[in-house]
Homo-oligomer: A and B are copies of this chain.
Amino acid sequence: MQQISFENIDLGGFWETKQNTNRDVTMPVIYKQFYDSGRVTAFACDWKPGDEKKPHYFWDSDIAKWIEGVSYSLINAPDESLEEVIDIIVDWIYDNQFIDGYFNIYFTVCEPTKRFTNRDAHELYCAGHLIEAAIAYHKATGKSKFLRCMEKYVLHIKDVFMDKYIADFATPGHEEIELALIKLWEYTDKLEYLKLARYFINLRGNNEKDKPVYNHTDFTYEQSHEPVREMKSAIGHAVRAEYLYCAMADLARIDNDEELKNACKALFSDIANKKMYITGGVGSGILGECFTEEYDLPNQFAYSESCAGIALALFAKRMNLLDVNSIYDDVAERVIYNNIFASCSISGREFFYTNPLEINLKERRLTQKYRMENQNFPATERQALFDCSCCPPNFARFIESFGDFLYTQDDDTVYIHHYAKSSAAFNGIKIKQTTDYPLKGKIKIAISGKCENKKIALRIPGWCQKYTVTVDKKAVKPKVTDGFIYIKCEGKKLSIELDLEMKAVLNEANPLIDQNFGRVAVSYGPFIYCLEDIDTDYKISEISLSKTLNETIKYVEFFKANIMEVDAFVTETFEGLYRPLKNTKKPIRLMLVPYYTFANRGEADMAVWLKLAR
Contact = CB atoms under 8 A, between A and B. Distances in A.
Interface in A556-614: 571-582, 611-612, 614
Contacts of A370: 284-288, 290, 292, 296
Contacts of A573: 510-512
Number of copies of this chain in the oligomer?
2
Given A514-B362, A614-B614, A508 B578 contact: yes
Interface in A314-369: 360, 362-363, 366, 369
Contacts of A572: 511
A253 to B, nearest CB: 25
Given A290-B370, A373-B287, A514-B541, A581 B507 contact: yes
A508 to B, nearest CB: 5
Nearest to A515: B363
B611 A518 contact: yes
A470 interface: no
A474 interface: no
Most B CB contacts (10 A, CB to CB) among A285, A286, A287, A521 go to: A287
B577 A276 contact: yes
A337 to B, nearest CB: 15
Interface in A165-214: none
A544 B520 contact: no
Interface in A267-294: 272-274, 276, 278, 284-288, 290, 292-293
B287 A511 contact: no
Given A518-B544, A577-B273, A580-B465, A287 B512 contact: no
Contact of A298 (B278, B371, B539): B371
A372 B372 CA distance: 8
A440 interface: no
Contacts of A518: 517-519, 544, 611-612
19 contacts: A284-B370, A286-B371, A292-B366, A292-B369, A293-B362, A295-B577, A296-B370, A372-B372, A507-B581, A508-B578, A508-B582, A510-B576, A511-B542, A512-B541, A513-B577, A518-B611, A518-B612, A520-B581, A547-B614
Given A273-B575, A276-B577, A514-B539, 5 more contacts: A286-B370, A296-B366, A510-B573, A510-B576, A547-B614
Identify the 3 closest CB pairs spanning chains A and B, nearest first.
A285-B370, A511-B542, A518-B611
